[in-house]
């Protein structure tokens, strides 16, 4: 099977991309080889397929929010070709049997490459470590209790030792429950103004400090999910300077929003970790720009309309992001002139691939899997929830004018959007 993508803009040149048996066979100004099918990119930009190390597809158990099918279609709509699914579904992916079932479902229902995390401990909250060795053998991409912090140091220490033995990362949702105090947004002036309970940033940074000591002791690859405070950025910077095997992700919403922007009791602005202060947001941007933070991940978290209505006191935590991430990063970081497109793609493709040692995602090179997306970078558009393929419409960015609309997405050479 041979196919051709012609008139695609790459590195300021119009190129044709020959795809043979799912892999990139040639990138050149002209390709004369007979092919079975042709896609005309019409001068739009081609980029490597994006990689998101943090999504929630809610399937099984919460299919009314999202399914593997709708989540992966939404991912393709956002230009993503590989995503890592969190294990907090129902049942939780905390046994080899549950993990094997998830792998089967991901392959059956996903239109893109859906890799699977397994839980660190039973039901995400127990101190009983899961069978890390068996789930590693079944293909786990890493281990995480995302949605919950690991409260006991010894549980995390044992998990790190076992993960290190199988050469897979621990991905940490860092949150000390004793410092939450029922908070629904960041503790501080904005929470006081709105009369809403706040959660201290110490809940993140205090547990992160503990984990970094344990990571140093075990040598495990420790990855920090959705980092949100300036103290966490500084801890990470120190850990990297000491040579620890540590990586971190930041979400587009923590880069672009802060609690000073929450003008009313608005559940669309409720996420965990919460939007922090403008000073925290500035530290996250600085950390991403100087390499302290390695990558951008969406924490795509779909909920029903009912779950994201009413007061922040009772609404669910989390927003969708897989269909808006590239456009937001491109508009606010590349179009604005802060970084070039190659740097944004490093955050959303290269660094995730390298950090998690992914071998079946492409970087737009001859011989790579033909995982790529065609993007219109030149014409602005307005983010519209009616365009989302996700079941979740819970985004605070609806209505924002951005650049970077996905025209088409290919996985292993097959057009999936």
Task: Kindly report, residue by residue over 200-253, the tens digit of the pLDDT.
Answer: 999 999 999 999 999 999 999 999 999 999 999 999 999 999 999 999 999 999
Is 299 assigned a ligand-binding role in the annotation?
Answer: yes
User: Residue 131 has what pLDDT?
Assistant: 98
Tell me how far CA of residue 133 lies from CA of 143, 166, 289, 327, in angstroms.
11, 7, 36, 39
User: Residue 227 has what pLDDT?
Assistant: 98
Task: Kindly report, residue by residue over 342-381, the tens digit of the pLDDT.
Answer: 999 999 999 999 999 999 998 999 999 999 999 999 999 9
Distance CA 286, CA 276 (A): 15
Distance CA 8, CA 56 (A): 32
Distance CA 344, CA 326 (A): 9
Distance CA 353, CA 47 (A): 15
DSSP secondary structure letters along 257-294: --GGG--S--GGG--SSPP--HHHHHHHHHHHHTTSS-
Distance CA 283, CA 289 (A): 10
E-strand ranges in 71-175 read 80-85, 113-116, 143-144, 170-172
DSSP state of 32: -
User: Residue 63 has what pLDDT?
Assistant: 98
Please compute the mean of the pLDDT values over residues 82-86 and round it to a whole number.
Answer: 98
Is 186 assigned a ligand-binding role in the annotation?
Answer: no
DSSP state of 359: S
Residue 177 appears among annotated catalytic residues? no
Is 148 assigned a ligand-binding role in the annotation?
Answer: no
Tell me how far CA of residue 312 lies from CA of 204, 308, 327, 385, 414, in angstroms.
20, 8, 27, 21, 42
Structure tokens at 312: 């922040």
**Which of 176, 299, 371, 412 does the annotation list as catalytic?**
299
Q: Is 253 helix (H, G, I), strand (E, B) or coil?
A: helix
Distance CA 275, CA 287 (A): 16
Structure tokens at 374: 């065609």
- pLDDT, the chain, mean: 98
Is 371 assigned a ligand-binding role in the annotation?
Answer: no
User: Residue 386 has what pLDDT?
Assistant: 98
Task: Kindly report, residue by residue over 116-160, the tens digit of the pLDDT.
Answer: 999 999 999 999 999 999 999 999 999 999 999 999 999 999 999
Please compute the mean of the pLDDT values over residues 304-322 and round it to a whole number.
Answer: 97
User: Residue 54 has what pLDDT?
Assistant: 98
Is 56 assigned a ligand-binding role in the annotation?
Answer: yes
Is 379 assigned a ligand-binding role in the annotation?
Answer: no
Quick check: 298 and 321 in contact, CB under 8 A? yes
Q: Is 53 helix (H, G, I), strand (E, B) or coil?
A: strand
Distance CA 279, CA 258 (A): 9
Is 388 assigned a ligand-binding role in the annotation?
Answer: no
Please compute the mean of the pLDDT values over residues 326-337 and round it to a whole number.
Answer: 98
Confidence band, pLDDT 50/70/90 cuts, at residue 273:
very high
Structure tokens at 410: 């290919």
DSSP strand pairing (37-40 vs 2-10)? parallel
Which residues, other chains included, contact 365 with Cβ-Cβ below 8 Å and sequence gap of 6+? 24
User: Residue 364 has what pLDDT?
Assistant: 95
Confidence band, pLDDT 50/70/90 cuts, at residue 299:
very high
Please compute the mean of the pLDDT values over residues 5-15 and round it to a whole number.
Answer: 95
Read off the pTM: 0.98
Confidence band, pLDDT 50/70/90 cuts, at residue 98:
very high
How many angstroms separate the first and last alpha carbons of the chain?
A: 19
Task: Kindly report, residue by residue over 104-128, the tens digit of the pLDDT.
Answer: 999 999 999 999 999 999 999 999 9
């Amino acid at each position: 099977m041979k196919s051709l993508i012609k008139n695609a803009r790459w590195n300021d040149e119009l190129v044709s991309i020959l795809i043979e048996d799912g892999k990139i066979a040639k990138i050149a100004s002209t390709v004369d080889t007979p092919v079975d099918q042709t896609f005309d990119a019409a001068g739009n930009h081609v980029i490597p397929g994006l990689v998101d190390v943090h999504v929630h597809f809610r399937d099984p158990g919460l299919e009314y929010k999202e399914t593997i099918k709708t989540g992966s279609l939404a991912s393709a709509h956002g230009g993503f070709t590989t995503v890592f699914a969190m294990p907090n579904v129902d049942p939780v992916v905390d046994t080899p049997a549950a993990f094997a079932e998830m792998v089967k479902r991901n392959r059956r229902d996903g239109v893109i490459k859906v890799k699977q995390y397994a839980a660190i401990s039973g039901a995400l909250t127990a101190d009983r470590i899961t069978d890390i060795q068996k789930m590693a053998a079944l293909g786990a991409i890493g281990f995480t209790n995302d949605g919950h912090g690991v409260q006991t140091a010894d549980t995390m220490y044992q998990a790190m030792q076992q993960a290190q033995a199988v050469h897979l990362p621990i991905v940490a949702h860092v949150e000390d429950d004793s410092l939450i105090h029922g908070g629904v947004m960041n503790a501080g002036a904005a929470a006081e103004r709105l009369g809403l309970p706040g959660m201290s940033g110490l809940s993140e940074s205090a547990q992160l400090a503990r984990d970094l000591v344990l990571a140093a002791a075990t040598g495990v690859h420790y990855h920090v999910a959705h980092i949100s405070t300036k103290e966490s950025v500084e801890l990470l910077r120190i850990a990297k300077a000491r040579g620890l095997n540590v990586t971190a992700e930041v979400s587009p919403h923590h880069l672009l929003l802060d609690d000073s922007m929450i003008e009313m009791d608005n559940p669309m602005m409720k996420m965990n970790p919460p939007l922090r202060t403008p000073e925290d947001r500035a530290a996250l941007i600085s950390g991403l720009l100087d390499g302290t933070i390695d990558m951008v991940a969406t924490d795509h978290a779909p909920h029903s309309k009912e779950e994201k209505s009413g007061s922040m006191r009772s609404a669910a935590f989390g927003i969708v992001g897989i269909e808006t991430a590239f456009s937001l990063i491109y508009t606010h970081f590349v179009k604005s002139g802060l970084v070039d497109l190659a740097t944004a793609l490093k955050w959303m493709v290269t660094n995730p691939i390298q950090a998690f040692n992914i071998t079946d995602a492409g970087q737009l090179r001859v011989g790579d899997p033909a995982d790529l997306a065609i993007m219109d970078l030149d014409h602005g558009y307005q983010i519209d929830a009616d365009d989302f393929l996700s079941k979740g419409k819970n985004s605070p960015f609806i209505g924002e004018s951005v650049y970077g609309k996905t025209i088409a997405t290919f996985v292993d050479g097959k057009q999936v959007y």
